[in-house]
Structure 1
Amino acid sequence: MTAQAVTAVEIRGALLRLRRATGLPVAFGGLVESGRPQVRISELSGTATAALRSLAVSSGSGLGGKAVALARPCAVTDYSSSRHISHEYDIPVAAEGIRSVLAVPVVVRRRVRGVLYGALRSAQPLGDRALGAAVAVARDVEQTLVLRDEAWELLTVAGRAPLKGAGAQPCGAAGAGAGGGTGTWEQVREAHAALRALAPRITDPALRADLLAACGLLTAPRPAGGPALAPRELDVLSWVAAGATNAAVAERLGLRPETVKGYLRSAMRKLGAHTRGEAVTAARRAGLLP
């Protein structure tokens, strides 16, 4: 699944959450198009027509464009007669039959990435409660996009490293190989650990599966009948392999240090290891770690 597709799925889910949280019967939204100062309305929920689909809303124009330009939520009680917005999009809005509308920008790292709209088919004030609930939904989307961006950045770092089958150091070996230096492999190991730490925080199952699949690409093929570790045991050992202390692992994974020690002891037992270093080496030989 591409990054754009993952984001579209998140916007679609956010519209359903927005309708439930605000009680508004209509919601729609979309992303800021790459390289263009406009939002493309791509997702609809509760609409009666397709009048709003694929509408390109320019920054500063209409209600959504105002939200993009100001990077803050905006609302109108009666869209067609409001003096606080421009009216380039009155025809599709009227065709859908909506009047009271709110627009909340999705802002990631100070850049507007999309807009979520909620609407009524009658002209009445939407109120602070509805606006606050819509803002909370937008914040959830922002957090998901931050995690997704971090994940893709880590995947990019890992993709630049020499991997198995490309003249690189075998994943289970120590030190520098013919295809790359120790520094490169440390990047791979840190990327592997960071991806595993991100995965449980991703709510979209397709993206979470993609991240875990990417982790698998960074390791050697697992031999048949080899040892298996629980997900959290592997998360802990991934950071240990990257050189993190128990305290640092606990901070990275949001666990108590005692819990980290428990997972590490369990992983060592399954791998037949007596020390942290032996556990890491055994896990690499078993194709569990890069």
Structure 2
Amino acid sequence: VVRGRTRAAIYGGLRVNRPIGDVVAEKVVRSAAELAREIEIRDEVDRRVSLIGNTRAAHGATVPAAVSEALTESLVALRAIAARTDDPSIREQVRTVEETLTRARDGASHPRTHLTAREHDVLSHVALGCRNAEIADRLSLSVETVKTYLRNAMDKLDVRSRHEAVVEARRQGLLP
């Protein structure tokens, strides 16, 4: 029973007619508790994977109209300032700020790294603490394929470990 719902049943039996003692019953109860905990953990991982999917979909949303208008007005003002100045260093600084505001207005942070959908999926599961075998099972891939996707993502992010990959992907805004 997990969170009040029956999720699994454990059956057992003996090959001979003997009474079941406390030691055996205790082992069965302990096994049931471990199974319930495992199911609860898997439910939580599924919930988080679902949140990641929803977050990815939400990132495609546009910037609110009021914010977009304010950013556009700021861009127009910056261009006017850049046109009036003769100092090339100030003009370059203004253009850098313009580019940043344009990306913000368009609702894209333009991360340095582009991960494929599968690399992102694998890295999302790594961020949840899943082992390669669990990721392979959840994504219907082989363990070797998971390792390949993870290795490719690590190369793109220029990191050497799973942990560094998750940290760098979050820093770049690729993972929530």
Do Structure 1 and Structure 2 share a fold, with TM-score over 0.5? Answer: no
Q: Taking structure 1 as the reference length, what is the TM-score of the superposition?
A: 0.27
The structure where strand makes up a greater share of residues is 1
Larger relative contact order (CA 8 Å, sep ≥ 6): 2
Which of the two has higher C-alpha Rg?
A: 2
